[in-house]
A and B are shown apart, each in its own frame.
Chain A
Amino acid sequence: MTDVEPLAVTPALEAHALSLVREGSRVLDDVSFTVAPGEIYALLGGNGAGKSTTLLTFLGFLSPSGGSVQVNGREVGADVAAARGAIAYLPEAATLYGHLDAYENLAYFLDLAGRRVDRAALEAALDQVALPPEARGRRMQTYSKGMRQKTAIALALLRDTPILLLDEPTSGLDPVAIDEFHAMVKALAAAGRTVLMVTHDVYGACQVADRVGLLRGGRLVGSFEAGPQGRIDTETVHAAFAARGAS
């Protein structure tokens, strides 16, 4: 199944007939979808469905066995550095450096990305993700999983890239923090950022995404868009997810 729609503008992200074979096993099979600038697209699927693998192809860590992946209209393989430069990536269970505090971690990774930000900008980003001020100067090895995830999200925000790739971004966050995160993602999209998130959280995906793609066994088996009320129907997606199995 494909999810390619005619777009007036160049898609921020595009997978076209994407296939990937790893160690003799086909982990992605003819996957096609586009994500328009400013759109939030959620790839939903169970464990081993190929969600994270899809993200890694956009980052150039995995090369397609067939088809193509493009970032801002350019083949990723043709200029991996350019693709990565346009993307802030938040991996699943992002583990920043335990021996550094939040400020030092953010400064290190931002410097790695070629960005210099002042302390006020760091504070603003950490405020945005609601990391308690008293924790910010402590080594991250003392943080809870949720606090580490918030710091990683702050890093993704501070990267100030047009595209965000989020791998299970709400994993480890409490319900309040998840709601705050969804609101933040929507605000970023409203400001023009493109978001591709992969998750197995049906409810969360339907809450935040403009469109949801359902991956199963490496194939895109369903696509869902917001209805007239502006929301994707959770029941419908959940039924499709459950009916077709976790992967």
Chain B
Amino acid sequence: MSALLRETRFLLRDRGAVLWIALALLLSAAATGFGIVEVRDQRATIAMLLEEDARERKSALAGQEDWGGAAYAAFHLTYAPPSDLAFAALGQRDTAPWLHRVRILALEGQIHEADTRNADFGLIGRFDFAFMAATLAPLLLILLLHDLRSAERVAGRHDLLVATAGAARQVWLPRALVRFIGLSLGVMVPFWIGAGFEGTAPGKVVTGSALVIGALLIWWLLVELVARGKASPPVQLTGLVGLWIALALLVPATARALIEAHTPVPDGAEILMLQREAVNDAWDKPKAATMQPFLARYPEWQAWGAVDKPFAWKWYFAFQEVGDMQAEPLAKSWREGGLARDKAAGIAAFLSPASLVERGFERLAGTDSRATIAYEDRVRLFHAKLRAFHYPLLFREPPYDPLAFAKLPRYRPEP
């Protein structure tokens, strides 16, 4: 304890070290603050749209006179609210849509035409806590620890320090430990405060903290291995920054490029185009070309499947679904490709502590690829419920009664 107190006092007199720790605190506070502002903005957007959604649907349904028109006019809000840890790791919420307004038209196009609200910003990624802790904190740790020994050698104090202490570890271990603790607190305290504001589950906070501290311990070990050499401080710093560039930037980028090349995934626009072309072509095709595949999937509507008018809502919505059926292989490939890429990225992350921390946080926060795919599956499930609600009305064509819409399915986000 005495050694830690001694080194704490020493650290507080070392302006350079204090500056790096203060910078860590500042960056972490900024990243946490940005994250909280963003998720609160997202929650406010969802709350506002939920109110609008109910009001607009009521208004749209009020002017309708038949089941088809009502089904066509009604929009339904689907959304994935940010979790209690999303402020720390915005992850895929930057690049993948987390809310849609869907109708019972062909779905895949509706899923893939949605874009982030700020796609340009999404391209460069957001400065969130996970990025700060995974990528920037190790760099600050390197700056704090790289020259503990070598700077003392250059200053001619190394032997005096070790001879006075009796053993090298009695000098370097407490000194490095105090700096490690200082940096860890600088990084973690804003996160802990942010988690308090956001009401994050304690288990997530503990796991997230353990992830960051565990990764920083790995970096400390790497710094220690390099710092034990007799090279000068600039040479050691160059080597360690090179290692940081490799592990925090090059390995993830290379792994991503290799995974993307090895696991091709169709573009969302391809799915959108295919499905739209299928739907648009249906207008010009014989109605049987739509109804046959539709009724093959829904044999229960065979008795009501005849279309004897130039336009019928049941035919219109049937060719919407047939459009989805044609886009299904591509959509499935997109989904499975995404999961395969995610799995491969999970394995590759073991080569990079930075990737491991970011992925760990995104998993905990429910902002990773799996969460995005789970949300899209939830939208598909809800859309299927909408169809299940409307199809009996469209095919059996009972007398129009707007009171029936009181039983319209409501989207429920994942609890």
Query: Using a CB–CB distance below 8 Å, which chain A residues touch chain B?
Result: 56, 59, 61, 80-81, 84-85, 87, 89, 91-97, 99-100, 104, 108-109, 111-114, 159
Query: Taking the complex as formed, is B261 at the interface, i.e. its CB lies under 8 A from any CB of chain A?
Result: no
Q: Which residues of A contact B164 (CB under 8 A)?
A: 84, 89, 109, 112-113, 159
Chain B residues numbered 150-199 whose CB sits less than 8 Å from any CB in chain A:
155-157, 159-167, 170-171
Q: Which residues of B contact A104 (CB under 8 A)?
A: 13
- 13 inter-chain pairs at a CB distance below 8 angstroms, sorted by A residue, are A80-B166, A85-B166, A87-B163, A89-B159, A89-B163, A91-B159, A95-B157, A99-B13, A109-B160, A112-B165, A112-B170, A113-B166, A114-B166
Q: Is the CB of B166 within 8 A of A84?
A: yes
Other than the given A81-B166, A91-B159, A95-B157, 8 more pairs (CB < 8 A) read A56-B159, A61-B162, A80-B166, A80-B167, A84-B163, A84-B164, A84-B167, A99-B14
Q: Which residues of B contact A159 (CB under 8 A)?
A: 164
Contact partner of B2 among A84, A100, A109, A111, CB < 8 A? A111
**Complex Cα–Cα for A46 and B10 (A):** 38
Query: Taking the complex as formed, is B15 at the interface, i.e. its CB lies under 8 A from any CB of chain A?
Result: yes
Q: Is the CB of A91 within 8 A of B6?
A: no
Q: Which residues of B contact A96 (CB under 8 A)?
A: 157
Q: Which residues of A contact B156 (CB under 8 A)?
A: 91-95
**Complex Cα–Cα for A95 and B162 (A):** 14
Q: Which residues of A contact B14 (CB under 8 A)?
A: 99
**Complex Cα–Cα for A89 and B13 (A):** 25
Q: Which residues of A contact B166 (CB under 8 A)?
A: 80-81, 84-85, 113-114
Would you call the interface of chain B mostly helix, strand, loop, or mixed? Answer: helix
Q: Is the CB of B171 within 8 A of A61?
A: no
Q: Is the CB of A112 within 8 A of B13?
A: no
Q: Which residues of B contact A59 (CB under 8 A)?
A: 159, 163
The minimal Cβ–Cβ distance linking A201 to chain B, given in whole angstroms, is 20
The minimal Cβ–Cβ distance linking B163 to chain A, given in whole angstroms, is 4
Choose among A87, A109, A112 the residue with the greatest number of B CB atoms under 10 Å from its CB.
A112
The minimal Cβ–Cβ distance linking A97 to chain B, given in whole angstroms, is 8
Q: Which residues of A contact B10 (CB under 8 A)?
A: 108
**Complex Cα–Cα for A111 and B8 (A):** 13
Chain B residues numbered 8-35 whose CB sits less than 8 Å from any CB in chain A:
9-10, 13-15
The minimal Cβ–Cβ distance linking B324 to chain A, given in whole angstroms, is 70
Q: Looking across the interface, which residue of chain B has its beta carbon closest to that of A165?
A: B163
Contact partner of B161 among A80, A87, A92, A112, CB < 8 A? A112
**Complex Cα–Cα for A109 and B171 (A):** 10
Q: Which residues of A contact B171 (CB under 8 A)?
A: 112
Q: Is the CB of A95 within 8 A of B159?
A: no
**Complex Cα–Cα for A111 and B159 (A):** 16
Q: Looking across the interface, which residue of chain B has its beta carbon closest to that of A58?
A: B163
Q: Is the CB of B6 within 8 A of A81?
A: no
The minimal Cβ–Cβ distance linking A164 to chain B, given in whole angstroms, is 12
Chain B residues numbered 339-392 whose CB sits less than 8 Å from any CB in chain A:
none
The minimal Cβ–Cβ distance linking A24 to chain B, given in whole angstroms, is 17
Q: Is the CB of A89 within 8 A of B160?
A: yes
Q: Looking across the interface, which residue of chain A has its beta carbon closest to that of B170?
A: A112
The minimal Cβ–Cβ distance linking B33 to chain A, given in whole angstroms, is 33
Chain B 125-163, CB within 8 Å of chain A: the 1/0 string? 000000000000000000000000000000111011111
Q: Which residues of A contact B162 (CB under 8 A)?
A: 61, 84
The minimal Cβ–Cβ distance linking A119 to chain B, given in whole angstroms, is 16
**Complex Cα–Cα for A108 and B174 (A):** 13
Q: Which residues of B contact A108 (CB under 8 A)?
A: 6, 9-10
Q: Is the CB of B159 within 8 A of A112?
A: no
Q: Looking across the interface, which residue of chain A has its beta carbon closest to that of B174?
A: A112
